[in-house]
Amino acid sequence: MKPFDYFSPTDAADAVRGVAGNPGAVFLGGGTNLVDHLKLGVVGPDLVVGLAGLLPAGIEELGDGTLRIGAGVSNSGLAADPRVRERFPVLSQALLSGASGQLRNMATVGGNPLQRTRCVYFQDVTTPCNKREPGSGCSATGGWTRYHAVLGASEHCIAVHPSDMAVAMAALDARVRTLGPVGERTIPFVELHRLPGDAPERDTVLEHGELITAIELPALPLARRSAYRKVRDRASYAFALVSVAAAIDVEDGVIVDARVAFGGVAHAPWRAYRAEEALRGAPASDRSYRAAAEAELADARPAEGLDGGNAFKIPLLCRTLTATLRDLAGEDPR
Ligand SMILES: Cc1cc2nc3c(=O)[nH]c(=O)nc-3n(C[C@H](O)[C@H](O)[C@H](O)COP(=O)(O)OP(=O)(O)OC[C@H]3O[C@@H](n4cnc5c(N)ncnc54)[C@H](O)[C@@H]3O)c2cc1C
Ligand code: SF4
């Protein structure tokens, strides 16, 4: 591991100054992703700025019903919060589908959406990878693509974003609060992550030294009827092949409103606006759910690969969305 200095800031502003003032500095949240990358040589910072104890570690309810979740809240703490379980079951389920109990105890709400891709070539420093080393090439293209993108990829990178929590946040119209070198800002969660384009080394729109301080969940009554379904190669401790976060409001057999996002298919959590549009006003039936999936996946482009490629993700996602919505549209839990 490359040696680095460690800095313990006094508060969040001090942490921002510590990273913003040094191009080779990084924040350390729970460390469950960053420390692996330090060991593997995927990243080699000069300075690591610790966030332990600096960020809000509680969940505050605002006057309009918004839940403001401090970036220091653990993934376990968020999943277990009674308000989250009751009002946003999709979020609790997404968190509990990820990693293991021990990892969720360490992982933070600020660090989770900023975890890096699990593309095997990104983590193998002996192989070319445009995300790790811009301009070096993409080893996944024509390589092992089972876990790679079918939506929004580019010739420079076909990796997918790995976070389960982020898929639920994208579906729930969440907002990200940050503190950066020029002050605070709020970013719609769906705009946090980038598609790779010709700059796959940039995962998000955050500036260097911009700290996530909280994530806000606005009140969304239909999210009481929501769910996360994750399809993976083994039942636990595995990343998604595909996943669906969905919330639905059905009255008299007709879909009044819906929120849908996909995971495991793109460089960002994929908010399925076309599917939502197709669902609104449609009968709550398998035919409608399939039509919604097909509308969203019309532009999907599978990758060929040494392992047979990932074309299977398209029908798999269609079936996963259908099954999720069918379950949700059953008995009304309210
Ligand atoms: C074996 C294993 C299995 C896993 N399985 C899953 C899974 O199935 N699903 C899933 O979603 N995740 C999974 N994970 C990933 C895990 O959820 C993430 O590692 C974790 O959420 C990252 O949070 P952290 O606080 O530890 O981040 P860190 O590792 O500390 O940081 C991650 C990145 O975010 C930056 N950062 C951290 N906090 C902030 C902040 N507040 N503001 C700005 N930048 C910040 C760091 O600089 C770093 O670049 C798995 C991890 C492991 C090791
Ligand atoms: S898919 Fe992206 S992360 Fe994976 S090797 Fe290609 S450039 Fe690197």
Residuewise pLDDT in 10s, the chain (334 residues): 999 999 999 999 999 999 999 999 999 999 999 999 999 999 999 999 999 999 999 999 999 999 999 999 999 999 999 999 999 999 999 999 999 999 999 999 999 999 999 999 999 999 999 999 999 999 999 999 999 999 999 999 999 999 999 999 999 999 999 999 999 999 999 999 999 999 999 999 999 999 999 999 999 999 999 999 999 999 888 999 999 999 999 999 999 999 999 999 999 999 999 999 999 999 999 999 999 999 999 999 999 999 999 999 999 999 999 999 999 998 543 3
**Listed residue (84, 86, 88, 104) closest to 33, CA to CA:** 104
Best residue for ligand 2 mutational test, from 119, 132, 147, 201 (most atoms within 8 Å of Cβ)? 119
Cα 156 to ligand 2 centroid, rounded to whole Å: 7
Cα 74 to ligand 2 centroid, rounded to whole Å: 29
**Listed residue (241, 234, 261, 233) closest to 325, CA to CA:** 261
What's the confidence (pLDDT) of residue 334?
A: 38
Q: Is the CB of 178 under 6 A from ligand 1?
A: no
Best residue for ligand 1 mutational test, from 34, 167, 204 (most atoms within 8 Å of Cβ)? 34
Cα 257 to ligand 1 centroid, rounded to whole Å: 32
Residue 113 to residue 169: CA distance in whole angstroms? 9
Residue 19 to residue 151: CA distance in whole angstroms? 33
DSSP 189: G
Tell the residue nearest (CA) to atom 27 of ligand 1. 111
Residue 255 to residue 284: CA distance in whole angstroms? 6
Atom of ligand 2 nearest to the CA of 143: 5
What's the confidence (pLDDT) of residue 333?
A: 39
Q: Which ligand is nearest to the Cα of residue 55, counting in written order? A: 1
Distances in Å between the Cα of 1 and the Cα atoms of 26, 35, 51, 122 are 15, 10, 21, 17
For the range 272-281, what are the long-range contacts, defined as Cβ-Cβ under 8 Å and sequence gap of 24 or more?
A: 272/296, 272/321, 274/298, 275/321, 279/248, 279/255, 279/325, 280/255, 280/256, 281/254, 281/255, 281/256
Q: What are phi and psi of 120, to 5 degrees?
A: -65, -30
What's the confidence (pLDDT) of residue 332?
A: 43
What's the confidence (pLDDT) of residue 236?
A: 87
Cα 286 to ligand 2 centroid, rounded to whole Å: 36
Cα 265 to ligand 2 centroid, rounded to whole Å: 14
Best residue for ligand 2 mutational test, from 120, 129, 141 (most atoms within 8 Å of Cβ)? 129
Q: Is the CB of 189 under 6 A from ligand 2?
A: no
What's the confidence (pLDDT) of residue 189?
A: 99
What's the confidence (pLDDT) of residue 200?
A: 98
Most distant CA pair in the chain, distance: 63
Residue 139 to residue 122: CA distance in whole angstroms? 9
Question: Residue 245 in contact with residue 139, Cβ under 8 Å?
Answer: no
Tokens of 312: 């299977």
Q: Is the CB of 91 under 6 A from ligand 1?
A: no
Residue 201 to residue 198: CA distance in whole angstroms? 9
Using CA of residue 130, residue 135, residue 136, residue 137, what is the dihedral sign? positive
Question: Residue 144 in contact with residue 305, Cβ under 8 Å?
Answer: yes
> Nearest 5°: CA angle at 185, between 181 and 191?
115
Question: Residue 16 in contact with residue 26, Cβ under 8 Å?
Answer: no
pTM (2 d.p.) = 0.98
Alpha helix (H) residue ranges in the chain = 12-20, 34-40, 75-80, 82-87, 89-96, 101-106, 120-123, 164-171, 273-279, 286-296, 313-328
Tell the residue nearest (CA) to atom 47 of ligand 1. 27
The residue type at 270:
W
Q: Is the CB of 141 under 6 A from ligand 1?
A: no
Question: Residue 149 in contact with residue 160, Cβ under 8 Å?
Answer: yes
What's the confidence (pLDDT) of residue 330?
A: 84
Cα 253 to ligand 1 centroid, rounded to whole Å: 40
Q: Is the CB of 320 under 6 A from ligand 1?
A: no
